[in-house]
A and B are shown apart, each in its own frame.
Chain A
Amino acid sequence: MPEETIAQSLIKKGVSRRDFLKLSGLLATAMGLTMAPPVLAAEETTKPLRSARINHAVLEAMETKPRLPVIWLEFQDCAGCSEAITRSNSPTLVDLVLNTLTIEYHETLSAAAGFQVEQAKEDAMQKYAGKYILVVEGSIPLGMEGNYCTIGGRSALDLLNNAASGAAAIIATGNCAAFGGLPKANPNPTEAKGVWDIITDKPVVNIPGCPAIPEVTTGTIANYALFGALPELDSLNRPKTFYGVTVHDRCLRRAFYEAGKFAKSFDDEGAKKGWCLYKLGCKGPTTYNACASIKWDQGLSFPIQSGHPCLGCSEPNFWDGGGFYQGQSAPLDRPGVTAVGAAVVAGAAIGVGNILVNQSKKKAQGGAE
């Protein structure tokens, strides 16, 4: 029933008007809306919106917009992004997406299985052609004619192309769907690719992370549901609201970085005192994500807070970006003794050769410089 508005469906479920108002306020906050263009457009004003008016914009959208059908495909993934969403415990945003927006197809979450559920997907794709949001989790293998990953006898590439053709927009959640992730790590045996490497004629939003922060995925879906537009994106197609600053910029251990106080091993005095993990290989300074501000499990913690350096999981090719526990500034590869030795020998050989040539020239010229 896509014609039913979001508000109507909530009220039908017994949500009170007061709770509904609270929800839209929380939703606006969770989406990080302050001066976002869709909000400005909705209000037809160029003035920055005050919080109450943002809230109002979200409220109005929820009362007027129909529910948004979502089709969720999984390819070369670990279902970790889906796991993260179902376990996020966030009572508002994630609930809204899982229960109120209609997820028409989700391999891991659907109770049914087999040909019936594939048929249901086909039906949904036809019924909502051009209207649904396609969420992709996992990378797409192109090797062996795409046969490294098949579902119901069809290759991931085929399924993606088919589902993408009728989608209004595509959201690639997790590093695998966005940039290829773990399956793409060297030597990339399945020739895995991210969605945006394959689909070029539809808007693709990347929500990288391992897993993607559930509030970011649902926040982006909600943004589309409410305002009919995708949020503003950076050069890697990530929503700027969530990927605008580095983890380092919002890190609670940042002061220790500035002060030069570092944990040097996982069990030293510095680690116990909560000092900066930069020397243990933290990739926070080059990683754009909202971990340090949204955090996980209802804002309980995130890796750096729990004492583990950032792996940089929202950046392309993070598996091949140097050792996880090697300094973030360190070169990716270290020449071995053989390579350095070869360079030394080559330099010396050319040098000696040069000297010999010069000496013979000198002799020929009769000792002139």
Chain B
Amino acid sequence: MTWQSILEFARGPFFYAALLIFVGGMVYRLVNVIGLGWSKDRIPTKGSKAAGVVKSFFKAILIWPFIPWVKNTFKRNPLIYIGGGLFHLGLFVVIFLGTPHMLVWKSLLKFGWPTLPLPIVDWLAVAGIVGMLILLINRLIHPVLKLISGPAEYLAWLMVFIPMVTGYMMTHHLWFQYEVLFSLHMLAVDMLLIWIPLSRISHFMFYFFARVIHGQEFGKRGVAL
């Protein structure tokens, strides 16, 4: 078996299967969460629910990340805040604004969009990788985090870290032949796709639900958030 055939497997049938498992798995998770049911709304609405949702998203995406020091979360755990922020920013830019990834989206969705120059994507990828390392070290030495971290937490970290590192190495042609790194990258991504619905990484979807539910709750009660 050559790396070429491994690559063909990872880009072909394995990716195909992983993508379908990912889609099916996420729908499964969603149905389960919806199946938990809503409590009946017996309290009269004070403010606007919709406005609460809009405000909640607006602040979480466009305001808090740029003035993090006003939040208690930041004051208590600046390391987690910065590390986590860098990681998420890097990940989003690489996945959506890196040219090779945009071409993956394009091949799946049949439409593309403009991308950022490589050096920008590259430095943000480094920021993401450094962020992940900071978070791992913190998890390993923080007395409380250490206690509440089990194999699932470290596995989730590894599952995300391998695609990021192999992708970075591939971009810079480090140490291995291109198809070796491409194979490892794709195998790791395929496994990640299968792993996401089974794990807490599914928060990428539930985050938006949580925001909507909390936002409308805040809006309904008329609280400033």
A96 within 8 A of B: no
Closest to B22 in A: A343
CA distance A47 to B103 in the complex (A): 47
A52 within 8 A of B: no
List residues of A (251-275) whose CB comes within 8 Å of B's CBs: 257-260, 262
Report yes or no: A332 in contact with B8, Cβ–Cβ below 8 A.
yes
Report yes or no: B24 in contact with A346, Cβ–Cβ below 8 A.
yes
Q: Given the complex, which residues of B lie within 8 Å of A333, measured CB to CB?
A: 12-13, 15-16
Give the secondary structure class of B's interface: helix
Residues A340 and B23 in contact in the complex (CB < 8 Å), given A286-B178, A331-B15: yes
B118 within 8 A of A: yes
Report yes or no: B24 in contact with A334, Cβ–Cβ below 8 A.
no
Report yes or no: B178 in contact with A246, Cβ–Cβ below 8 A.
yes
Report yes or no: A329 in contact with B24, Cβ–Cβ below 8 A.
no
Interface size on B, residues (CB 8 A): 44
Closest to A258 in B: B118
List residues of B (177-225) whose CB comes within 8 Å of A's CBs: 177-179, 182
Closest to A285 in B: B178
**Nearest CB of chain B from residue A162's CB, rounded to whole Å:** 28
B59 within 8 A of A: no
Q: Which of B5, B7, B12, B27 contacts A343 (CB 8 A)?
A: B27
Q: Which of A315, A317, A344, A351 contacts B32 (CB 8 A)?
A: A351
List residues of B (86-113) whose CB comes within 8 Å of A's CBs: 99-101, 103-104, 106-108, 112
Report yes or no: A330 in contact with B178, Cβ–Cβ below 8 A.
no
B-binding segment of A17-25, A26-34, A217-225, A319-327: A319-327
Report yes or no: B99 in contact with A279, Cβ–Cβ below 8 A.
yes
**Nearest CB of chain B from residue A256's CB, rounded to whole Å:** 10
List residues of B (1-39) whose CB comes within 8 Å of A's CBs: 2-5, 7-8, 11-13, 15-16, 19-21, 23-32, 35
A350 within 8 A of B: yes
Q: Given the complex, which residues of A lie within 8 Å of B13, measured CB to CB?
A: 333
Q: Which of A279, A320, A355 contacts B103 (CB 8 A)?
A: A279
Further pairs besides A236-B2, A331-B107, A343-B21: 13, Cβ < 8 Å:
A278-B99, A279-B103, A286-B7, A316-B2, A327-B107, A332-B8, A334-B107, A334-B108, A339-B16, A347-B28, A347-B31, A348-B31, A351-B30
Q: A residues engaging B (CB < 8 A)?
A: 235-236, 246, 249, 257-260, 262, 278-279, 285-286, 288, 315-317, 320-322, 326-335, 339-340, 342-344, 346-348, 350-352, 354-355, 358
Q: B residues engaging A (CB < 8 A)?
A: 2-5, 7-8, 11-13, 15-16, 19-21, 23-32, 35, 99-101, 103-104, 106-108, 112, 115-119, 173, 177-179, 182
